[in-house]
Amino acid sequence: MIISQEQLNFGFGDDSFEQWMLSIEPGTVLSAAQLLTALDNSSEDVVEDTFALLEMKGVCLNIDDLPRYSQDGEAALRLRREEQLVKDGNLMESLAETDPLRMYLQEIAAVPTCGDIQLLSQELIQANHSGEEETDVHTAVMNLSLSRVVELACSYTGRGVLLTDLIQEGSVGLWQSLSDYAEGDFEAFRDEKIHWYLAKAVILQAHSAGVGQKMRRMAEDYRAVDERLLAELGRNPTAEEIAEGMHVSVREAEETAKMLENARILNRAKQPEPEALPQEEDQAVEDTAYFRMRQRIAELLSGLSEQDARLLSLRYGLEGGLPLDVAQTGARLGLTNEEVMQKEAAALAKLRQQ
């Protein structure tokens, strides 16, 4: 998609934030933690414009660095229950007959489905090309895809949004995919849109719950405690020592450290390579923090297996390209999504130990 300057005429109100938003390249994988901290204290109009621009640019939303739960009380209990029922594979059977979610799932299951989605997708292209909206083919593809919405929504349970709301947001993404589809693999395009709207729902819920502000404070506290303990102890403090200094659990301290580390790697990877300088200035270049950081990253990656180093390079764009999502990385390396996530977590853990 080619985006005109007129389409980019969003009024964010803050020059630095606006420049950052407009500098994000189409197809970029954007960290939810980074987005939330940037949107902290923003008005609803700014938040709405931000997501409109990100969707227009085809930016992927990565929610892996968000806390699992951002609600309290009955809502948190319901979120945990839904997550467990999905994990156990008996969601429908375990809900009361009068439960709104069960009735909603029953309604979806009762929707009549017919036709071959591959053949219908070709008719969908023709309908969209002619400007037709809400035709029989749109309805047929919608009905065939509702079960997929439920399946994908279930993978987001426990993320702060109730499953009923996730299914509704996923359905909005599905309908958007029907309207926007023009070519290629429809099912892949559809799933990408559904995922985007599900991730958006999770991020918006986290934003309304003040998660961005909390994460910003946690990051600032972590840095302050880390620097203080480093000066006092004369060595890198342990996660337990930092957690004690922050008055939080070790798990929360480790999650904050992971968020900061991943953000550092991603930001460094996006920096341009230093320009070649005359030979007599080589030593000056080597003395820069940027060069030392790049050298350190290379040293750390050299301690990993060739596949793990390649995996992290693809996931965080360390080879000069855009960061790839889990599915794209798996396609490059011949791995499943689960294998990519497991290997990434293990490789990052090994780097932290180093």
The tokens 């389409």 sit on which residue? 7
Tell me, which fold does domain 211-270 have in CATH? Arc Repressor Mutant, subunit A (1.10.10)
Q: If phi over 0 gives left and psi between -120 and 50 gives alpha, with beta otherwise, what is residue 73?
A: left
The better pLDDT of the pair 322, 326 is held by 326
| Per-residue pLDDT tens digits for 248-260 | 888 778 877 776 6
Cβ burial, residue 183 (10 Å; 0-12/13-18/19+): exposed
Please report which confidence band the pLDDT of residue 292 belongs to, taking 50, 70 and 90 as the band edges. low
Question: What is the pLDDT confidence band of residue 262, given thresholds at 50, 70 and 90?
Answer: low
Tens of pLDDT along 64-110?
A: 877 665 556 778 888 889 999 999 988 888 999 899 899 999 999 99
CA distances from 6 to 2, 11, 19, 53, 107 (A): 12, 12, 15, 12, 42
List the beta strands (DSSP E) in the chain: 29-31, 60-62
Rounded Cα gap, residues 57 and 20, in angstroms: 14
Delimit the domains of the chain by residue range: 15-62, 73-185, 211-270
- Over residues 8-27, mean pLDDT: 64
pTM for this structure? 0.62
Distance CA 197, CA 60 (A): 10
CA distance 181 to 338: 28
Q: Cα(268)–Cα(298) distance, rounded to whole angstroms?
A: 12
Q: What confidence category does residue 10 fall into, taking pLDDT thresholds of 50, 70 and 90?
A: very low
CB 194 within 8 A of CB 177: yes
